[in-house]
Amino acid sequence: MTPDEPAAPPAPAVTPLVTRLTLARQIRESLVVRIVSGEIQPGERLVETRIAAMYGTSQAPVREALRELEAMRMVETRPRRGTFVRHFVQQTLRESYVVRAALEETATRLAMLAGTMPLPALRAEVKAMRAAARAGDAAAAARASVAFHRHIVDAAHNELLKLSWEALQIEARTSVTMVAAEVKLKDIARDHAELLRSIEDGELETACKHARDHQWHYADLPHDAHGRARRQVS
């Protein structure tokens, strides 16, 4: 059944979105922003059909997006009951730093033992952080920080470790922390420079401990972005 005449798709005119990503992915991204920003409240119910209508799609892509959010621990789904925004988004944020600490300490140990630590790349990222600090570009600083730590995790050459680390959705959380904890960009650059220094010095245990403390530090910071966002509504 092939029309030898190209039935010319003349004016679909209804697909304005430069859709190169799937709908589900786009919906997820949008929801993440709305949850993290506090626009959608903790405890709030996410009704699939309503969200579908809101985005002008069917229920299916919305469900997929919600499953992904659930995997990110941003929402909680009870079968046949519904999906709700978690209350402890900020607690989870804090927890994630402890887990990162565990994984990155080990990555540091593995990479140093194997002698695969990519020092030039690490120096470059610190440099990028300093530049971002000067420019006041928080997004750039966050990117450089994530890249710095990813270099280390990669250098460990342990795929499962990498896998577990990536599963923490570091990107998605880092920017949140920077806003929530009101971290100074200059402090970020300095902290990483210190960590790098101890790695360069080659003192294994010192560097490992430094790697761990580096993350535990963030776990201790106050994260009240959500409290703040909540307050202005209630």
Partner DNA sequence: GTGTAACCGATTATCGATAGTCGGTGGAGG
Partner DNA sequence: CCTCCACCGACTATCGATAATCGGTTACAC
Q: Give the interface segment with a second copy, choosing from 73-81, 135-143, 145-153, 186-194 (CB under 8 A).
A: 73-81
CA–CA gap between residue 30 and residue 24 (Å, rounded):
10
Beta-bridged to residue 206, according to DSSP, are none
Question: Does the footprint of DNA cover residue 77 (CB under 7 A)?
Answer: yes
Q: Would you state the torsion angle of the CA atoms of residues 173, 176, 180, 182, taken in this order, to the nearest 10 degrees?
A: 100
Among 23, 69, 74, 176, contact with DNA (rule: CB under 7 A) = 23
Structure tokens at 79: 């079968």
User: 85 by DSSP, 3-state: which?
Assistant: strand
Report the candidate in 127, 132, 126, 97 with the shortest Cα–Cα distance to residue 212. 97
Q: How far apart are CA 176 and CA 75, in angstroms?
A: 16
Among 7, 81, 136, 205, binds DNA (CB under 7 A): 81
167 binds a second copy (CB under 8 A): yes
User: Does 16 help bind a second copy (rule: CB under 8 A)?
Assistant: no
Interaction of residue 106 with a second copy, rule CB under 8 A? yes
Instruction: Check binding of 54 to DNA (CB under 7 A).
Output: no
Among 98, 113, 119, 135, binds a second copy (CB under 8 A): 98
Instruction: Tell me the angle at which helices 138-155 and 159-167 cross, rounded to the nearest 10 degrees.
Output: 150
Decide if residue 71 touches DNA (CB under 7 A). no
Q: How many CA atoms lie within 13 A of 33 on its CB side?
A: 5
Judged by CB, which is closer to a second copy: 93, or 132? 93
Question: Could you say which of 39, 43, 44, 47 contacts DNA (CB under 7 A)?
Answer: 47
29 binds DNA (CB under 7 A): no
